[in-house]
Amino acid sequence: MHAAVLDGPGGPEAFSYRQVPTPQPGPREVLLRVRASGVNRLDVWIRNGTYRVPFPHVLGADVAGAVEQAGPGSSGRFAPGDRVLVYPGLSCGECAACRQGQESFCESLGLLGRERWGGYAEQIAVPESLLFPLPPRLTFEQAAALPVAYTTAEHMLSRAQIRAGERVLVFGATGGVGTALILRAHRRHARVFAITGSTAAARALLDLGAEGVYLRPDLTPLAGSPPLPEQVDAVLDSVGKDALPPGLSRLRKGGRYAYCGVTSGNQVNLDLRPIYARQISILGCFLGNREDLRVLLEDSLQGDWEPRIHRTFPLTEAASAHRILEEPHLGKLLLIP
């Protein structure tokens, strides 16, 4: 098979598209033909050496595809040709967190595309337990947008207990997680206010369901948006350092700050006094649970929402997708073998 392979850390030019051995499914594993794979910030951190992995390596945590072959000991739930989506969390399945359906809290949690080869390839072998049947109305491309960005967003919304009518501030609104947060918060009938660094994206963010769009760092209203509320019920952040001070300053007493990323930096100076005095909750969120992905797939059957996809690329152009990821874009980037 062919894959976009990294032989060592580097920039986007580090990818080599070439033939590699076709994986063989082990016990209770399934071989898939990859139909679409998502591009995530995690992939950049692995590619540039922030996360260390053995090389050569194949990235890709988001995988949608079709079953080709079941390995020994498989349950028989999936037959060749079945359309499936892969949950990307590699948990132990035995600890208290896993037994309670909280796989993202597993102490040994790994990720597809980091701890084992991922979906930047024509074929992939994965544990059968990670597979979800793909609803007929979802395309492979739409499905591949869900596992990391949308499962993370759903997890953040649940942990922050977002309810109808609440005012929610979303930082990093144009990326894969940001657009997912807007769509899924709007789905819960929350009032969404989106923070972006791109004036060109304002109208599209309003179309996604944001009540207002604001330009960082001074939070200037864009595209006729109303003034940003002085206080909000929750902040949902995939940016990190640059979002924390303005986000905390807008939270009401008892507000919740949920974050899942540090794209603007991870070191901050923080005054702890207003956090306890105002009884602010700070919630770190990583990936999500299988239940979060199940909710997304079940909700897709309603037919009145779909993930936002910015652009698809042939697998041969993995380097181009990584370059676009560093530029302003709106929604998910996908690779198609």
Q: Is the pLDDT of residue 264 over 90?
A: no
Give residue 262's pLDDT. Answer: 87
Per-chain mean pLDDT for the chain:
95
Give residue 124's pLDDT. Answer: 98
* CA proximity to 168, closest of 150, 147, 190: 190
User: Alpha-carbon distance 206 to 14, whole Å?
Assistant: 37
Give residue 23's pLDDT. Answer: 97
Q: Is the pLDDT of residue 270 over 90?
A: no
pLDDT band at 113 (very low <50, low <70, confident <90, very high): very high
- For residue range 143-187, list pLDDT tens digits in order: 999 999 999 999 999 999 999 999 999 999 999 999 999 999 999
- For residue range 9-19, list pLDDT tens digits in order: 999 999 999 99
Give residue 324's pLDDT. Answer: 96
User: Alpha-carbon distance 240 to 40, whole Å?
Assistant: 16
User: Alpha-carbon distance 214 to 193, whole Å?
Assistant: 8
pLDDT band at 301 (very low <50, low <70, confident <90, very high): confident
Give residue 20's pLDDT. Answer: 98
User: Alpha-carbon distance 308 to 141, whole Å?
Assistant: 10
Give residue 283's pLDDT. Answer: 97
Say whether pTM exceeds 0.85: yes
Average pLDDT over residues 177-202: 95
Give residue 315's pLDDT. Answer: 98
Q: Is the pLDDT of residue 202 over 90?
A: yes
- For residue range 26-53, list pLDDT tens digits in order: 999 999 999 999 999 999 999 999 999 9
Share of the chain above pLDDT 90, in %: 90
Token couple for 174: 């144009």
- For residue range 50-104, list pLDDT tens digits in order: 999 999 999 999 999 999 999 999 998 999 999 999 999 999 999 999 999 999 9
Domains annotated for the chain, with CATH where assigned, are 2-145+308-336 (3.90.180.10), 151-284 (3.40.50.720)
Give residue 268's pLDDT. Answer: 86
* CA proximity to 146, closest of 336, 267, 298, 28: 298
* CA proximity to 116, closest of 91, 153, 93: 91
Give residue 140's pLDDT. Answer: 98
Q: Are 169 and 225 in contact, with CB atoms under 8 Å apart?
A: no
